[in-house]
Amino acid sequence: MQALRRLATASAIALVLYGVGLWLSDGLIEYAQRIVLLAGINVILAVGLNLINGTTGQFSIGHAGFMAVGAYGAAFFGVKLAPIFARVLGAGAVAEALTFNVALLIGAAFAGAAGLLVGAPSLRLRGDYLAVVTLGFGEIIRISFNNAQFLGAATGYFGDSPAGLPAYTSFFWVYGWAIAIVVLIRNLTFSQTGRSLAAIREDEIAAEAMATPTTRLKVLAFSLSAASAGIAGGLFAYMQSGIRPEDFRFDKSIDMVVMIIIGGLGSISGAIVGGVFVAVTLELMRDLQQYRLVLYALLLVGIMLVRPEGLLGNRELPDLVRGWLRKAKIAK
């Protein structure tokens, strides 16, 4: 019965997404559509990063590197898989959808594996080492892609056809994946494992004394977080005709950190709000490009000094709204 209900909910969501997607592609100019898609991708990035930075309290500032691994993985394997799927299933929407999603998963697997590789040695130690290691990793990955000839080196990867990568990314897939990842991470956060992650954030030594396998859980959270950045990278890749190493510079990692800090470290709904906020402000500030990072930096320091827990802290929006409603009732 429950399985049936879940299936019904999922199909309803899919239907709504499909409808809204159709309506948007008719009603909005391309520029606005791009912002809507970027907002969805940002939500995936922010919620994923929040799992390690917010919930677990280990700080990564190189997530653009994992996004890059996912983007290149998905782009490369998508291009190679497309003819195979087209031959088996016949060219058409089904083959394309399958290619796209398999490619995304492959990209995510690579990103997750990279997370494991980076996280395993550094997460045995105190959290601040992770910041340094991820910072270094983000740069190394970018330099590697810059030198990888089979991925187009510095000019970027555009697939095998002169038209560039196919435009698989649509409203339906971006928000479908965003909802799936948000639900997955929400369920994880409020599970027993999630409680252990929060315990690590609050006091690692105490958590260890309570027999929490701290290193294993930290590495798990970090790999999951890297994998979701990989999905976001894949979606990002198929949004344009190609990807360049320049797309994944350090600024991108900082954008992600800003997203989760605005919303509040540890809050999933906060991360969603932050992701959308950054997508919109980035577009609004396009003319102020050179001031962007100065403003972001001031914002970071300012929030830390005035309200270090971010706008929402680690509370969730629905809980807050419920609280306000209750208060309003009492006041009456």
243: β partners = 157
Does the protein bind other proteins through residue 135 (CB under 8 A)? yes
Does the protein bind other proteins through residue 147 (CB under 8 A)? yes
Does the protein bind other proteins through residue 124 (CB under 8 A)? yes
**Which of 257, 259, 268, 312 contacts other proteins by CB under 8 A?**
257
Span near other proteins by CB under 8 A; candidates 36-44, 170-178, 297-305, 316-324: 297-305
Angle at 139 between CA 238 and CA 114, to 5 degrees: 65
Q: Which of residues 302-321 bind other proteins (CB under 8 A)?
A: 304-305, 308
Residue 279 near residue 39 (C-beta atoms within 8 A): yes
Terminal CA-CA length for the chain: 41
Span near other proteins by CB under 8 A; candidates 25-33, 117-125, 165-173, 220-228: 117-125
Angle at 130 between CA 125 and CA 134, to 5 degrees: 150
- By CB atoms closer than 10 A (0-12, 13-18, 19+), residue 155 is exposed
> Residue 234 contacts by C-beta under 8 Å, 6 or more apart in sequence?
70, 71, 73, 74, 75, 78, 103, 104, 107, 108
Closest CA to 267 of 206, 205, 200, 320: 320
Question: What number of chain residues touch other proteins (CB under 8 A)?
Answer: 41
Does the protein bind other proteins through residue 242 (CB under 8 A)? no
**Which of 1, 3, 29, 205 contacts other proteins by CB under 8 A?**
205
Does the protein bind other proteins through residue 127 (CB under 8 A)? yes
For residue 324, count other CB atoms closer than 10 A to its CB: 10
Span near other proteins by CB under 8 A; candidates 3-11, 92-100, 125-133, 273-281: 125-133
Please state the closest distance from residue 19 (CB atom) to other proteins, in A: 40
Does the protein bind other proteins through residue 254 (CB under 8 A)? yes
Where on the chain is the footprint of other proteins (CB under 8 A)? 57, 59, 61, 121-122, 124-129, 131-133, 135-137, 139-140, 143, 147, 205-206, 250, 254, 257, 261, 265, 290-291, 293-294, 296-301, 304-305, 308
